[in-house]
Every structure is written in structure tokens, then in C-alpha cells.
Amino acid sequence: MKTVAPDQPRTLMQAHEELVRVRPDRGASLAVWLEYYQRSVALYEQISKIDPRHDGEALYWAERERRRVDRIATRVIEHLPRQGRQMARSRQHGGA
């Protein structure tokens, strides 16, 4: 089992509770929501490794949040000027 900092969630329920606690306000910017969902993905992936009774469910939540990251990133790219969109899409698909 991997070790976790004492103040970090150790179970799926603790992860849910932590993410509710730090959830942005509804009117937060796309950048804030993007950061929140990226954090959610990382946390759920971590939980899948340290809470074996809930590993499958934690991976489900990680994938669900990853889809939200992708949707928000697409929206952010759409709001960039044309040159910025091209560069961002290139980065999003692994380009330089």
C-alpha cells in the first residue's frame, strides 16, 4: 500500500468530502473549474491505489472528472484567439 500524507484523504468517502469542501462557486471562471477537476482526477487516481475496497469506483470517478477536464479545456481553447487555439490544440494532442 502506498503511503499518504496524514492530512490527505485515505478513502473514497474522504476524497468526496474533501472535493465538496474545496468545490468552486458556480460562477467561478473556467480556469478555476479546470484546476478543480484536474485536482479531482489526481485525487481519485490516488484513492484507487490506497483504498482497495473502492478502487474500481475511484477509477470511475477519475474518468468521469477527466471527461469534464477535456470538455472545459475545449471550451477554453474555443475562447482563445485563432493563433492561440492552434497552439493549444497542438499541445492538447501531444504536439510541441
Give residue 1's pLDDT.
37
pLDDT along the chain (96 residues), means of 10: 66 97 96 96 98 97 98 87 59 59
Residue 4 lies in a domain: no
Residue 36 lies in a domain: yes
Residue 55 lies in a domain: yes
How far, in Å, are 69, 81, 91, 92 from residue 84 at the CA level? 19, 5, 11, 12
The residue segments making up the domain with residue 28 are: 12-92
Residue 7 lies in a domain: no
In the chain, the DSSP E strands lie at none
Residue 2 lies in a domain: no
Give residue 80's pLDDT.
74
Q: Based on the structure, what is the number of domains in the chain?
A: 1
Closest to 38 in 3D by CA, of 51, 54, 22, 27: 22
Residue 59 lies in a domain: yes
